[in-house]
Amino acid sequence: MATNRSRRLRKKLCVDEFQELGCELTLSFREGLTEAEADQFVEQFLRDAIDGNGLGYVGGEDYGFVCLAKRGSVSEEQRTQLEAWLKGRKELTEFNLSPLMDVWYPENPINQA
């Protein structure tokens, strides 16, 4: 694909100055967690950690992708707040929150602004 793109096309493709960042999330629940406890955790996670920070989540109970709820990028501060929220949860044995990465083209490096 051509590298000399118009601003309109760069915006449409979410590249260059319009790159959008997010992160992958993997959750491991503790053994013996009841279905009701798991459901309650997911509800709190979506309400407090995701919606409360202006984020969006795409995925299932144990794996998904965190992005901004509107057009744009997750900030390092939002990622850190999410990580802190997850660290305080007794329902999890561990979790893995990836570094920020390109939402649309994960193989591309992050643009330094």
Blockwise average pLDDT, block size 10, the chain, 113 residues: 81 90 96 93 95 94 93 94 95 96 91 72
Rounded to the nearest 5°, which phi and psi values hold at 7? -60, -40
Instruction: Please report the domains of the chain, with CATH numbers, ordered by start residue.
Output: 20-102 (3.30.70.100)
pLDDT the model gives residue 1: 47
CA nearest to 50, candidates 9, 82, 87, 16: 82
Q: Is 10 exposed, middle or buried (0-12, 13-18, 19+ CB in 10 A)?
A: middle
Q: What digits encode the pLDDT tens for the residues 88-98?
A: 999 999 999 99
CA–CA gap between residue 13 and residue 39 (Å, rounded): 36
